[in-house]
Amino acid sequence: MFTKILIANRGEIACRVIKTAQKLGIKTVAVYSEADRDARHVELADEAVLLGPAPSRESYLVADKIIAAAKQTGAQAIHPGYGFLSENEDFARRVEEAGIAFIGPKHYSIAAMGDKIASKKLANEARVNTIPGHNEPILSPEEAVNIAQGIGYPVMIKASAGGGGKGLRVAFNDKECFEGFTSCRNEARNSFGDDRVFMEKFVEEPRHIEIQVLGDSLGNVVYLHERECSIQRRHQKVIEEAPSPFISDETRRAMGEQAVALAKAVKYQSAGTVEFVVGKDQSFYFLEMNTRLQVEHPVTECITGVDLVEQMIRVAAGLPLPFKQEEIKREGWAIECRINAEDPFRNFLPSTGRLVKYQPPAANLEQGTNTLVGAAYEGGQFGGVRVEPASTKAARSRCSTTR
C-alpha cells in the first residue's frame, strides 16, 4: 500500500480523497493555485504544493507541474479526482511513465472510451446494446438528412468528443436535421477542437441510468448497481438517486452484466461508470463510459457500503477486489441534490450572489467515509445555506444527507 499520495484536484473531491486516505493511514499532498492558497483541501492535507497562478490552464491543467510536485514530495501515486485531467489519457500515460501510480484506469482504457464513435464500436463487439444509428463521421448536412431518413425520426446528432450537453441536437424532421448538423458541427469544433459528428435514434421518454463498475489488475470486474440520473436541466444532472425506482431486478442485472462485459473488453481497472439510456419499455442502450469517479458516487456508497475511493487506491496498489459480485449488497435509498447558483425567476439562469451563512449538516453515512453529497461548484461540501441572489430577493435553501 502507498504511504503518500498526491491529489491533482481541489474543492470537494480533493477533501473526499483526503478523508479516505486518512482512514487508510496514507499521507496526502494537496496542490493549489494562488487563488486557492487558503482552501480547505490545502488545510486538510499533510503537505501542499503551489502550482501557479489562478487560471487552471496555468496550474491544475499543467501535467508537468503536477508530476514534478509528486516527485518533489515523494508521493507514490496520483489521484486525479474528477474534472481537470481525470480523463486525459496523455496525463495518465505520463504519470505511469514517470514511475508513479495513477489512481484510475490505464491510459489505453481512457483512450478507448474517450471517443464516442470508437466506444460504440467496442460496445457492439462486446455485445452491449447500442442505439441504432450511424457510427461513422458524417461529412455534410445532406448526408445527415439521408441517414436520418434511414434511421427514422426523431434522431440525435452528436459530437464524437462532446459532453455536458455540448455538441448535441435532436431533430424531428429534415429541416431540423439539416440545420442541427451544421450547428452541432460548429459547436463541436469550437468547444472540443474536433468536428466529427455521428447520429443515432432518439429514444422517446428516456431515462438516464448509469451502472457503477469496479475492476482490478487481475481481470476481476463487478458492478455496484445503478444510479438514476434522469432529472436534468440543460443536459446537466440535478438529482441522482440509487437505486432507480423505475427498472426491474431483471433489467438491473442485465444492465450490470453488460457494463461488466464492456469494462472487461477494455481491460478496465479502477472505478468507472457505464451510462445507458432506458426507454419506457425498459429497453436500454449504451451511451458512453466515464473513466473516472463520478460526482454522484456517494449515493452508490450509501446503498452498498463500499468506499469507492478506497477501492480505487487498493486497485492502483495492485490489490485484488475484496468481494465478488454476489457479495455486493443493495439496501436503503440515497438521493443527491446538486445545488446550483441559479435564478428560478429567470428560467434558472446562472445567478451569482453573496454567501452570508454556511451551516453544514451532520455527516451520517454509515460506512465511515463521512462524505456528504457532491457539489455542483468548486467550493467543497455544502449544507444549509442562506444566500443573497444577485437579481432576486433573499432566498433560503436547506439540504442534508440521509440514508
Positions marked catalytic: 288
Residue 253, CB-side half-sphere exposure with 13 Å CA sphere: 5
3-state secondary structure of 253: helix
Grid coordinates given for 248: 426491474
3-state secondary structure of 218: coil
How many whole angstroms separate alpha carbon 170 and alpha carbon 328? 38
How many whole angstroms separate alpha carbon 105 and alpha carbon 86? 10
* Burial grade of 85 (CB within 10 A; 0-12, 13-18, 19 or more): buried
What is the residue whose three cell numbers read 431533430?
A: 171
Q: What angle do CA 6, 69, 35 make, to 5 degrees?
A: 85
Grid coordinates given for 256: 450490470
Question: Could you tell me if 201 and 155 are in contact, meaning their C-beta atoms sit under 8 angstroms apart?
Answer: yes
How many whole angstroms separate alpha carbon 249 and alpha carbon 252? 5
